[in-house]
């Protein structure tokens, strides 16, 4: 989770590579932004309650679809990320959220976040430029708001996570591999079949 161009997809790719080198079956749930754009849904600073609910529910659906097919599921933008972006979009537009709709969304995010085994939040390093590999919001104010509001969601909903700073990826990959291998070894059933885990 975290604002755009802070290394989430790169980290996921590196972690996937390291796990596959150790013969761990990995599935990945990719960032849904391009799919949302193809459907005509507003994203980034244009996020609405409807588009945010699509990100949350479609993300959960994608995660569940991968569950039977891998030892580990890596999620590029876990569901709290969508809520953080929604809050950032509202702040960017100086709009107030509907408290009932927001409470509904927060309940889904809080409850679903309990099934993640390990969550990372990237932190904004303004010296790292925006990537050019996919559509980006080049509004630096919104980028900062997204960074702030993703952090606020995790704090407000009391969701445990680790920080992932730009210079700490090597250590985070090593720590994650150790964490995953430990969890997989704990969850081996008597038949030798590992329980499905996800990150």
| Other C-beta atoms lying within 10 Å of the C-beta of residue 7 | 21
Tens place of pLDDT per residue across the chain (199 aa): 999 889 899 999 999 999 999 999 999 999 999 999 999 999 999 999 999 999 999 999 999 999 999 999 999 999 999 999 999 999 999 999 999 999 999 999 999 999 999 999 999 987 776 666 555 567 889 999 999 999 999 999 999 999 999 889 999 999 999 999 999 998 765 544 445 444 5
Burial class (CB in 10 A: 0-12, 13-18, 19+), 158: exposed
Q: 77 with 59: CB under 8 angstroms?
A: yes
Report pLDDT for 16: 97
Q: Strand, helix or coil at 75?
A: strand
């Amino acid at each position: 989770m975290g604002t755009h161009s802070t290394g989430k997809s790169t980290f996921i790719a590196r972690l996937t590579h390291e796990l596959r080198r150790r013969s761990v079956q990995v599935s990945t749930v990719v960032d849904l932004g391009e799919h949302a754009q193809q459907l005509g849904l507003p994203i980034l600073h244009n996020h609405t309650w409807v588009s945010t609910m699509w990100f949350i529910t479609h993300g959960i659906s994608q995660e569940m679809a991968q569950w039977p097919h891998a030892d580990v599921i890596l999620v590029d933008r876990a569901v709290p990320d969508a809520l953080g972006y929604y809050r950032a979009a509202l702040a960017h537009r100086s709009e107030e959220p509907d408290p009932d709709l927001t409470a509904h969304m927060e309940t889904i995010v809080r409850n679903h976040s309990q099934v993640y085994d390990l969550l990372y939040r990237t932190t904004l390093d303004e010296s790292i430029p925006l990537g050019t590999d996919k559509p980006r919001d080049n509004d630096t104010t919104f980028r900062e708001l997204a960074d702030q509001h993703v952090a606020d969601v995790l704090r407000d909903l009391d969701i445990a996570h680790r920080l992932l700073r730009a210079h700490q990826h090597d250590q985070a990959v090593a720590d994650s591999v150790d964490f995953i291998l430990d969890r997989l070894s704990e969850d081996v059933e008597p038949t030798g079949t590992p329980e499905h885990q996800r990150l």
